[in-house]
Homo-oligomer: A and B are copies of this chain.
Amino acid sequence: MTETISVAFIGYKFMGRAHSNAWRQAAAFFDVPYRPVLKVLCGRDVQAARQVADDFGWEEVCGSWEEAVTRPDIDIVDICSPGNTHRDIAIAAAQAGKHVLCEKPLANTLADAKAMWYAAAEANVISMVNFNYRRTPAVALAKQMIANGQIGEIRHWRGTYLQDWIVDPEFPLVWRLQQGIAGSGALGDIGAHSIDLARYLVGEIAAVSALTRTFVKERPLPTAMTGLSATGGQARGPVTVDDAALWLATFDNGAIGTFEATRMATGRRNYNRFEINGSRGSIAFNFERMNELEYFSLDDPPGQQGWRTILATDPLHPYVSAWWPAGHGLGYEHTFTHAVVDFLKGIAAARSPQPDFADGTQTQAVLEAILRSAQSGVWVSVERVG
């Protein structure tokens, strides 16, 4: 009989549903060491939280994370609230001896990230940042192939994470566009994913030269905050985060790279793409076709080389054997289920799965270097936190 493990969850919106689903699906499809019990869902808006709880089977709802994270019947705390709240919750949870899974980016500042990491280390709990794209089967396959040496020595990283949900200047000033809550804009929200993928697949980033841009500088206040302005028009407020961030990077191993994160790339919904060129081959991936991995190999016979589309849905591919036969693709939410599965295995093995809080802190150091470079206009070396 599988042992159970109890989860407290902080958050309830988009990410709330993605995580709730993952906690439910993990044990249904995978052979996990613990069967998760969805114990308590915690949100400021208890009414909204109750709806998610009902939909996904959380046993209880609670309005105070402080209470939830210290309950003795809780083993795991999963944090999906806005970035400015991560630090306090994570530290409290770790100090209470809970294992902590935290949505990305780990924090809004490097200092906060470090504090979270140290707290988890001191408490000796399992920690993990949910950079979920690592756990797309095609990406995990890319990692294996690179580790096998199949593309040789890496020379180029080319990462573009493109979205377009704020192209319209009338799109309102939601929390993700406010620096105080979100920390940064495209950079921290989606650029952080690119950084995580680059570090996972290529190696540590040494230095960056960056540019950020806010194309639409004012937006209508969201309905909840809104009111008529003095002149009778819709009230507006300043956008305090970047719409787009671009940077060049050097890697410790000699590779070089370009990165772009933007929410203004009309026609790109969730175009988290990367291409890696090595001395023996190349690899490319785009989340909009998440079940495919592109691969080129100089080991193929001359005259018959070409970019190969590997449909990463074979039972041989990472995570896939738990699901469906070849050619029956997976979707976005599966990456969260895989994260939960690995987190549970990490707890059983008493070793934090990657990226743990230390690793997430290093990504935060890259974000910080980018912001500093964008402000100063010069190359900035990335602090090595490990």
Interface on A for B, CB 8 Å cutoff? 14, 17-18, 20-21, 24, 27-29, 55-57, 141, 145, 151, 155-156, 158, 160, 162-165, 167, 209-211, 213, 215, 244, 246-248, 250, 254, 256-258, 260, 262, 264-271, 275, 277-282, 287-291, 293, 295-296, 298, 300, 302-311, 313-314, 316-317, 323-334, 377-379
Contact = CB atoms under 8 A, between A and B. Distances in A.
Nearest to A373: B209
A167 B298 contact: yes
A267 B244 contact: no
Contact of A378 (B20, B215, B244, B377): B377
B21 A28 contact: yes
Given A246-B256, A267-B296, A270-B328, 13 more contacts: A14-B324, A167-B298, A210-B248, A246-B257, A247-B248, A258-B258, A264-B277, A267-B281, A306-B308, A328-B332, A329-B332, A330-B331, A377-B378
Q: How many copies does the complex hold?
A: 4
B277 A267 contact: yes
B377 A325 contact: no
A331 B322 CA distance: 14
A293 B330 CA distance: 17
B215 A254 contact: yes
26 contacts: A24-B24, A155-B215, A155-B244, A163-B327, A209-B377, A211-B250, A211-B256, A213-B256, A258-B258, A265-B275, A265-B277, A266-B277, A266-B282, A267-B306, A269-B326, A269-B327, A288-B311, A288-B327, A289-B289, A303-B310, A307-B309, A308-B309, A309-B309, A324-B332, A329-B331, A330-B332
Contacts of A28: 20-21, 24, 55-57
Contacts of A165: 325-326
B156 A262 contact: yes
A340 B231 CA distance: 52
A306 B311 contact: yes
A14 B306 contact: no
Nearest to A322: B17
Contacts of A141: 303
A384 to B, nearest CB: 20
A308 B309 CA distance: 6
Contact of A158 (B160, B247, B281): B160
Nearest to A56: B28
Contacts of A293: 306
Nearest to A29: B55
A328 B326 contact: no
A378 B306 CA distance: 38
B330 A324 contact: no
Contact of A308 (B275, B300, B330): B300
A278 to B, nearest CB: 6
Contacts of A268: 277, 282, 327
6 pairs of A and B residues whose beta carbons are closest in the complex: A269-B327, A270-B327, A267-B296, A331-B331, A328-B332, A303-B316
